[in-house]
Each structure stands twice: as structure tokens, then as C-alpha cells.
């Protein structure tokens, strides 16, 4: 428990004791899966993987999958009724241990109604009927990518320009709405930060936790 990595995983375990946030047992320490029940009633699966090594924190990759029903995440038959949400952890936060980063993401998705007020793609996902999710591959900020569009991209071996490449996906940066921006943009989106909210208190707790690990 002396390493920042192991301490952050212990911290993540504590966050997963919150009702609605669940850590799924894994056969490998190189894979971490969380399931989150949002306040909207929607469900999210966060998957982090690191093929290089546990202590190479920058090598962790995360993806977020959304579903209307929990069984859509757990059943192979209903898995098609899920869609990817393009939420990524900002490169400026890559120095944080993976447990801290995943805890931040899980807590934000747990309060997805608050998040949806600032992030359009989350709002679009929440209001999307379950049956329509069967036809959707990805929720991006600029565009909803359907399964048909996705298949056409790779059947021709060319990405459709209007969809954008992976470098243009929106990034997840803590909780504050004014932190959301395109990776290649010079300036963040002009959104006012939320004042005196519970998410700011949690953010401060996480940063204090990290500061203690660094001492």
C-alpha cells in the first residue's frame, strides 16, 4: 500500500461503496471495470485497461458505455442496446493515479442529471429511447454516429470527415463544465463553472487525497 497506484485503488474501492457505484471483479489487474447507476435512471460501464504496465499511469485507456437498463450491460443478447459516450480523461490529469481518475469519472456519471445540464452528449443519451440505442454507435458532442455510419466508415477504410477522428473526441476533465473542450482547440468552451455544488467538494477531496499520496 506504499505506492500511489495501490493507494488510489484503495480510494476507488471506497468510492465504490457508494450506492449506485460498483466495482466489477476482474481476472486481471490490468483491467478495471466499474458500473454506475446515474440519478437519471441510466446505467454506465467504465472500462480501463493498461496493456503496458500498472505503474505506467499514462498508458491507461478508458471507455464509457451507456445503457437504459442494467441488463443491457450484463447480457450479451441485449448488449446491442448500448452506446459509447465520448468522454475521455484530459491529458493534464494523466499524472493522477488511475484510481483517482476513475473515481472522479464515476462520481460525475453518478450525478448524470447535473452533468447533462452542461454536457450535451450526456443529455442526448439520457433522453434517447432505449430502442433507438440499438441503432446508435457513439454519442459525440458534434454528432451522433449511427451503426450504419460506423460500418460505412470502416468498410471503405476511410473515416467520414464529418464524423471526425479519435483525436477530436471530447475529453473528460474532472467535474467543472468550463473544463470541457476539444483536444485541438486553443480555448475551452465558454461555459460558466457551477458554484458551491457537491461536485466541487468531491473534486477538492480527491485533490487533497492525491496531495497526501504525493507527500
Phi and psi for 101 in degrees, rounded to 5? -65, -45
Give the residue, 196 or 157, on which the prediction is more confident: 157
**Residue 183 above 50 pLDDT?**
no
Give me the pLDDT at residue 18, please: 95
Give me the pLDDT at residue 50, please: 85
Distance between CA atoms of 7 and 210, rounded to whole angstroms? 9
Give me the pLDDT at residue 34, please: 97
Mean pLDDT of the chain: 77
Question: pLDDT-based confidence at 189, cuts 50/70/90?
Answer: very low
Give me the pLDDT at residue 95, please: 74
Average pLDDT over residues 168-174: 41
**Residue 127 above 80 pLDDT?**
yes
Give me the pLDDT at residue 188, please: 31
For residue 25, the SS3 value is: coil
% of the chain beyond a pLDDT of 90: 47
pTM over 0.75? The answer is: no
Question: Per residue in 22-47, pLDDT tens?
Answer: 999 988 888 999 999 999 999 999 99
What is the per-residue burial (b if ≥16 Cβ within 10 Å, else e) of 158-189?
eeeeebbeeeebbbbbbbbbebbbbeeeeeee
- Distances in Å between the Cα of 98 and the Cα atoms of 35, 94, 162 are 16, 8, 32
Question: pLDDT-based confidence at 202, cuts 50/70/90?
Answer: low
Distance between CA atoms of 212 and 169, rounded to whole angstroms? 32
Give me the pLDDT at residue 132, please: 95
**Residue 91 above 60 pLDDT?**
yes
Amino acid at each position: 500500500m506504499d505506492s500511489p497506484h495501490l493507494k488510489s485503488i484503495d480510494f476507488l474501492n471506497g468510492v465504490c461503496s457508494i450506492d449506485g457505484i460498483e466495482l466489477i471483479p476482474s481476472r486481471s489487474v490490468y483491467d478495471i471495470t466499474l458500473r454506475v447507476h446515474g440519478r437519471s435512471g441510466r446505467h454506465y460501464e467504465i472500462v480501463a485497461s493498461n496493456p503496458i504496465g500498472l505503474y505506467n499511469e499514462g498508458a491507461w485507456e478508458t471507455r464509457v458505455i451507456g445503457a437504459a437498463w442494467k441488463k443491457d450491460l450484463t447480457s450479451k443478447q441485449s448488449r446491442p442496446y448500448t452506446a459509447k459516450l465520448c468522454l475521455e480523461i484530459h491529458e493534464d490529469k494523466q499524472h493522477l493515479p488511475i484510481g483517482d481518475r476513475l473515481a472522479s469519472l464515476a462520481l460525475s456519471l453518478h450525478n448524470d442529471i447535473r452533468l447533462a445540464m452542461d454536457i450535451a452528449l450526456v443529455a442526448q443519451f439520457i433522453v434517447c429511447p432505449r430502442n433507438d440505442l440499438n441503432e446508435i454507435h457513439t454519442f459525440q458532442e458534434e454528432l451522433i454516429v449511427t451503426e450504419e455510419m460506423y460500418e460505412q466508415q470502416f468498410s471503405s477504410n476511410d473515416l467520414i470527415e464529418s464524423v471526425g477522428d479519435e483525436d477530436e473526441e471530447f475529453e473528460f476533465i474532472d467535474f467543472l463544465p468550463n473544463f470541457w473542450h476539444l483536444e485541438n482547440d486553443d480555448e475551452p468552451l465558454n461555459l460558466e463553472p457551477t458554484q458551491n455544488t457537491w461536485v466541487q467538494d468531491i473534486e477538492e477531496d480527491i485533490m487533497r487525497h492525491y496531495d497526501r499520496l504525493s507527500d
